[in-house]
Amino acid sequence: MSEAKFPTVAVLGAGTMGAGIAQVCAQAGSSVVLQDVTDEFVQRGLARIRDFLQKGVDKGKTTVEQRDAVLSRITTTTDRAGAARGAQLVIEAVPEQLALKNGIFRELAAVVAPDCVLASNTSSLSLAKVFAGVAGPARCIGMHFFNPVPLMALLELVRTDATSAPVIDAVTAYGRQLGKEPILVKDSPGFASSRLGVCLGLEAIRMLESGVASAEDIDKAMVLGYGHPMGPLKLTDLVGLDVRLAIADYLAQELDHPGFRAPELMRRMVAEGKLGKKSGQGFYRW
Q: Which stretch binds ligand CAA (CB under 6 A): 20-28, 56-64, 65-73, 208-216?
A: 56-64
Site for ligand CAA in 178-207 (CB under 6 A): 194, 197
Query: What is the C-alpha to C-alpha distance for residues 186 and 159, in angstroms, rounded to an integer?
Result: 5
- End-to-end CA separation in angstroms for the chain: 38
| Pick from 7, 35, 16: nearest CA to 117 | 7
**59 is an interface residue for ligand CAA by CB under 6 A:** yes
Q: Which stretch binds ligand CAA (CB under 6 A): 64-72, 77-85, 142-150, 256-264?
A: 142-150
Name the β-bridge partners of 24: none
**148 is an interface residue for ligand CAA by CB under 6 A:** yes
**55 is an interface residue for ligand CAA by CB under 6 A:** yes
Site string for ligand CAA, 217-256 (x = CB under 6 A): ------------xx----x---x---x-------------
Query: C-beta of 193: minimal distance to ligand CAA in Å?
Result: 6
In single-letter form, the type of residue at position 136 comes to G
Q: Which is nearer to ligand CAA, 56 or 136 (CB)?
A: 56
Q: Which stretch binds ligand CAA (CB under 6 A): 35-43, 54-62, 101-109, 268-276?
A: 54-62
Query: What is the C-alpha to C-alpha distance for residues 90 and 10, in angstroms, rounded to an integer?
Result: 5
In single-letter form, the type of residue at position 1 comes to M
φ, ψ for residue 275, nearest 5 deg: -100, 0
SS (H, E, C) 163-220: CCHHHHHHHHHHHHHCCCEEEEEECCCCCCHHHHHHHHHHHHHHHHHCCCCCHHHHHH
**CB 186 within 8 Å of CB 156:** no
**147 is an interface residue for ligand CAA by CB under 6 A:** yes
Query: C-beta of 70: minimal distance to ligand CAA in Å?
Result: 11
Tell me how many residues contact ligand CAA (CB under 6 A): 19
Site string for ligand CAA, 80-119 (x = CB under 6 A): ----------------------------------------
Exactly one of 88, 123, 160, 236 binds ligand CAA (CB under 6 A); that residue is 123
Site string for ligand CAA, 13-52 (x = CB under 6 A): ---------------------------------------x
Query: What is the C-alpha to C-alpha distance for residues 277 and 63, in angstroms, rounded to an integer?
Result: 28
**CB 228 within 8 Å of CB 222:** yes
Q: Spell out the alpha helix ranges (H) of the chain.
A: 16-27, 39-59, 64-72, 80-85, 98-109, 127-130, 165-177, 193-209, 215-226, 232-239, 241-254, 264-271
Query: C-beta of 74: minimal distance to ligand CAA in Å?
Result: 16
- Using alpha carbons only, what angle is made at residue 251 by residues 250 and 255, rounded to the nearest 5 degrees? 130
Query: What is the C-alpha to C-alpha distance for residues 101 and 120, in angstroms, rounded to an integer?
Result: 8
Q: Which is nearer to ligand CAA, 59 or 285 (CB)?
A: 59
**64 is an interface residue for ligand CAA by CB under 6 A:** no
Query: C-beta of 234: minimal distance to ligand CAA in Å?
Result: 8
Residue numbers at the binding site for ligand CAA (CB under 6 A): 52, 55-56, 59, 61-62, 123, 146-148, 151-152, 194, 197, 229-230, 235, 239, 243
